[in-house]
Amino acid sequence: MDTSKLERLDETRWRIPATGSMQVPAVIFADRDLIEDMDDKVHEQICNVCRLPGIVKSALVMPDAHWGYGFPIGGVAAFAADEGGVISAGGVGFDISCGVRLIDTGVSREAIQSVQAELAHELSRSTPAGVGSTGRIRLDDTDMDNMLTGGAKWAVAEGYGLPDDLEHIEESGCQADPDPAAVSARARRRQRNEMGTLGSGNHYLEVQYVSEVFNNSIADAYGLREGDAVISIHCGSRGLGHQIGTEFLREMAISAEKYGIKLPDRELACAPINSGLGQRYLGAMRAAVNCALANRQILTHLTRTAFAQFFPDTTLKLVYDVSHNICKEEHHVVDGESLRLHVHRKGATRALGPGSKDVPAAFRNVGQPVFIGGSMGTSSYVLAGTEAGEELAFSSACHGAGRKMSRHQARKRWRGREIADELAQDGVIVRSPSSRGIAEEAPGAYKDVTGVVDAADRAGLTTKVCRLRPMICIKG
């Protein structure tokens, strides 16, 4: 990105002044290396976000940001419904409620290594992954409505998990105010056989270990210690969420003129929050959130079943589950006034600080867990939300390393088999139904996740808690 277009506020914050039709300025969180590697399209996209009606304070860009559809991936923006604010399907994304959950296995790195190959085989066999992957669960119309309404609570009631899991999931496992009736028949058909599946792209199930602890008190609160083996599950609402995004983006683009909205980019198609269309999208989106929460809950059950074959005496305990493609209705203080806002986080995660009532009681003194996924063979991180993050970024943080190379470019540069062989030499077993998918997700196609995490830490968005390194990676 051309830094001559930016005002540098400090070591990790850059400002784009509001000019022309921009309603507010934009702020980018990044150090100089990250900002110079960021594509110029991010600048263009976040400035367009600043032109949307009812936007509040500033539009924000996280350190892992890269070009996306409408909003940049890593984009955050809040809108005031009472000031004509809008809801944008492009500001949520197609994979609605894509997120990460972290599970403590209760066993050590060494215990995993003693059965690593066998465990990798069993996890890949029991966890459907890849484009169009389907599971063993079949939902009829009643089941579908119950799932879209109940989320992870529905999954637990159906026998997929433990009641205690719900205390460690954002929104206690069930997003309020869903509207299953706003989910089309086609979206339902796409999801009917996809519950309990990883999907494709950057989704994964990884067995990892805690390689380094940066903050012992927070790590203790999360139940994490150096040498512990953990599991990260990264996936979302599968075909249902994608179909909802596709349908509502089209409808919002067609309806923009009726609502008097001049779109700076058709990909930013939106509708007033208080309109019938806006409310229908929010209802459908919340139903998709529940779909994603139920999906990750079922995957957790499948993972526990696989682990029990090797470690029958251990209980896999859910640490936390948080989404990073979502819009949430929240209260935030802006210029001394508490406002009801709809906060879009696309490729960004909520990162509530200590004391927030929305953080589980077990973590309330230290802040919400934040999970930053790396790519195959690289580190992932556990962070914690901060009090400063509320003022800085509506309590938001980055969500991953962020791509620096398109999937097409990655396929031209690498072969999946070669990547898998290289990782095996480093002690990481990769299992995927697609060699092409491995090539697209090659570690070199992503930014340096440590640099991204360090920038978020220095900016005050998050606090570093511990580093995770992979041992087994099940890829879509």
Is 342 marked active-site? no
Express each pLDDT in 64-93 by its tens digit.
999 999 999 999 999 999 999 999 999 999
Band of pLDDT at residue 433, cut at 50, 70 and 90: confident
pLDDT of residue 130: 63
Q: What mean pLDDT comes out for the span 395-414?
A: 90
Residue type for position 180: P
Cβ atoms of 68 and 202 within 8 Å: the answer is no
3-class SS letters over 410-432: HHHHCCHHHHHHHHHHCCCEEEC
Residues 324, 344, 399, 408: which is the catalytic one? 399
Structure tokens at 209: 């270990």
Express each pLDDT in 200-234 by its tens digit.
888 999 999 999 999 999 999 999 999 999 999 99
pLDDT of residue 136: 84
pLDDT of residue 373: 92
Cβ atoms of 150 and 293 within 8 Å: the answer is no
pLDDT of residue 292: 98
pLDDT above 90 (res 446): no
Cβ atoms of 322 and 170 within 8 Å: the answer is yes
Structure tokens at 365: 């003194």
Whole-number mean pLDDT of the chain?
95
Band of pLDDT at residue 445, cut at 50, 70 and 90: confident
pLDDT of residue 435: 87
pLDDT of residue 313: 93
Q: What mean pLDDT comes out for the span 28-48?
A: 96
pLDDT above 80 (res 195): yes
pLDDT of residue 444: 87
pLDDT above 80 (res 134): no
pLDDT of residue 258: 96
Q: What mean pLDDT comes out for the span 353-372?
A: 95
Express each pLDDT in 152-176 by its tens digit.
999 999 999 999 999 999 999 999 9
Report the alpha-carbon distance of residue 307 to residue 311 in Å, rounded: 6
Structure tokens at 121: 């085989």
Structure tokens at 193: 């056989």
Q: What mean pLDDT comes out for the span 123-145?
A: 85
Cβ atoms of 447 and 34 within 8 Å: the answer is yes
pLDDT above 90 (res 265): yes
Share of the chain above pLDDT 90, in %: 87
Residue 66's Cβ-count burial label (10 Å; 0-12, 13-18, 19+) is buried
pLDDT above 90 (res 133): no
pLDDT of residue 77: 98
Superfamily covering domain 3-475 = tRNA-splicing ligase RtcB (3.90.1860.10)
Q: Which of 476, 422, 444 is nearest to 130 (CA)?
A: 476
pLDDT above 90 (res 274): yes
Query: Within a 10 A sphere around the Cβ of 274, how many other Cβ atoms?
Result: 14
Q: What mean pLDDT comes out for the span 185-199?
A: 94
pLDDT above 80 (res 135): no
Strand residue runs (E) in 109-155:
none
pLDDT above 70 (res 141): yes
Express each pLDDT in 279-315 by its tens digit.
999 999 999 999 999 999 999 999 999 999 999 999 9
Report the alpha-carbon distance of residue 383 to residue 386 in Å, rounded: 10
pLDDT of residue 408: 86
Count the residues in the chain: 476
